[in-house]
Amino acid sequence: MQELIQAVEQADSPGNLIAAVRALAAAEIEAGIPTLIAVLGYNNPGAATAAVQGLIQMGEMSVQPILELLDGYNYGARAYAIRALSAIGDPRALECLIQAAANDFAPSVRRSAAKGLGSLRWNQLPAEQIADKQAKAVHTLKQVCHDPDWSIRYAAVAGLQALAKSGNQQPILAAFEQMLQTEAEIAVRARVQLAQQQLKCEV
Amino acid sequence: MQESSPEQSPEAAQLTVEQAIANLRHEDLSLRYYAAWWLGRFQVKEAPAVDALIEALADEADRTELGGYPLRRNAARALGKLENLKAVPPLIACLDCSDFYVREAATQSLGMLGDRSCIPYLMQLLAGGVEAAVRVPERPHLAQPCEAAIEALGSLRATEAIPLIQPFLEHPVERVQYAAARAMYQLTGDNAYGDRLVQALNGADIQLRRMALNDLGAIGYLEAADAIASAAAENSFKLIALKGLLEHQYNQTSQSLSDDAIRVMNLMDALL
């Protein structure tokens, strides 16, 4: 086990690093999580992707370490970490995703946070907290729907659609109606229409 | 296409439309330069802005060491974004400017404005064919802005330029080849040209892959959707390309959601 971690730390070429990260990720050992998180900052996309996969596979086990080790100074690393948190969907990431969706300067971070806010596993929260926390997520995503960057608005629509499936649809449907009045970007309008269509089908 | 984006300065952030227009004639040349960029960036379409920018196309005050005209470049770029056809004749006149970057900016803007009266002048830029489209010694560009001219002719649907553009598919510079493939697809609808851009997604150079993504988005080549989604490039570039496909599809089906549009959006969702 220690050998797998050392192999990552001592890899002497980008190719070796990717192979070592893949091996460590596949082993799914808790002690390897900080190393996988460190790899996100190595500026090696192949290795980072493998590390994200490993973190996602380990699921809830990864969440607390990612939240503690999140790199505030390296947006590349942060984007990978947010992607992992979004895919895992553990509601402990809520505050972190709200911050990232609303305030991060990197569009890639904001997009994956916005999408992730929609697909948290709300039922892991105490029942009495769910409505309140979902309202917070909806509030954030509605703000993000006004971002100047179309791709971030697009991601917020996808996030809102996912949220509408697991909670109070009313404010989300109202936000979509509102967006169709004002949204100028065709791609975002189309995504709003798709969300409306798919939500209608499920009712 | 390149976007010039000067550093934000405090006074610049507070610019109003009136100030920006006035600044185009300011004695401080850097304020003129910034104002021209600003008017384009915020798409100030009012007549006085257009008139002042047209005036700036003839500026003589702002010169680089090599004789370039920075203000003219920015004014030409801005006019492309303001949708006012009054700018077409003065932009055509810029195609004879001694500064390559003024010619390039004017060419791009003429392509964006969509007025077909410029087509013969753009074709003139390609007159010598591939043989004449050679690099200027010690400069990072060709003798004429061929790439921009080819792209503009494609988006202006200048089918009369097909025989002129086709040989550029074999131009030694890859980005010129892409421009030719992109225009040929727009002018003929032949998938062989779209597929050439899809193949370019497998190129070794990330910069060229990004360019091919941009071109595929610009022509809305639906057949490229999956290749775009799995290309080795950043998600931001892939999203912009897929956005182009989606817009194309959405406009063709009079703003309703076709199965193809939904397929493209599913690919986009997976890249968020």
CB A172, CB A162: distance < 8 Å: no
C-alpha to C-alpha distance for B88 and B113, rounded to whole angstroms? 8
Q: Does A193 touch chain B (CB under 8 A)?
A: yes
CB contact under 8 A, A190 and B250: yes
CB B159, CB B187: distance < 8 Å: yes
Distance from A115 to chain B by nearest Cα, in Å? 7
Return the number of CB contacts < 8 Å for A and B: 42
CB contact under 8 A, B246 and A187: yes
User: Alpha helices of A104-185 — where are they, by DSSP H?
Assistant: 107-118, 127-144, 150-166, 170-182
CB contact under 8 A, B268 and A194: no
Out of A111, A155, A186, name the one closest to residue B250 (CB).
A186
Q: Does A191 touch chain B (CB under 8 A)?
A: yes
For chain B, strand residue ranges (E) read: none
DSSP structure string for B71-120: HHHHHHHHHHTTT-GGGHHHHHHHTT-S-HHHHHHHHHHHHHH--GGGHH
* SS3 at position B126: coil
CB B140, CB B115: distance < 8 Å: no
Q: Does A107 touch chain B (CB under 8 A)?
A: yes
In this prediction the pTM is: 0.87
The first and second tokens of residue A7, run together, are 């192999």
Q: Report in angstroms the alpha-carbon separations of A32 from A1, A10, A37, A78, B129.
A: 8, 14, 9, 19, 60
CB contact under 8 A, B243 and A158: no
Q: Does A111 touch chain B (CB under 8 A)?
A: yes
pLDDT at B13: 56
Average pLDDT estimate for B30-39: 96
Please check the confidence at residue B45 and state whether its pLDDT lies above 90.
Answer: yes
Out of B234, B261, B272, name the one closest to residue A115 (CB).
B272
pLDDT per residue, tens digit, chain A (203 aa), is: 788 999 999 999 999 999 999 999 999 999 999 999 999 999 898 999 999 999 999 999 999 999 998 877 788 899 899 999 999 999 999 999 999 999 998 899 999 999 999 999 999 999 999 999 999 999 999 999 999 999 999 999 999 999 998 888 999 999 999 999 999 999 999 999 999 999 987 65
CB contact under 8 A, B257 and A194: yes
Out of A115, A187, A193, name the one closest to residue B247 (CB).
A187
Distance from A1 to chain B by nearest Cα, in Å? 32
Average pLDDT estimate for B132-148: 92
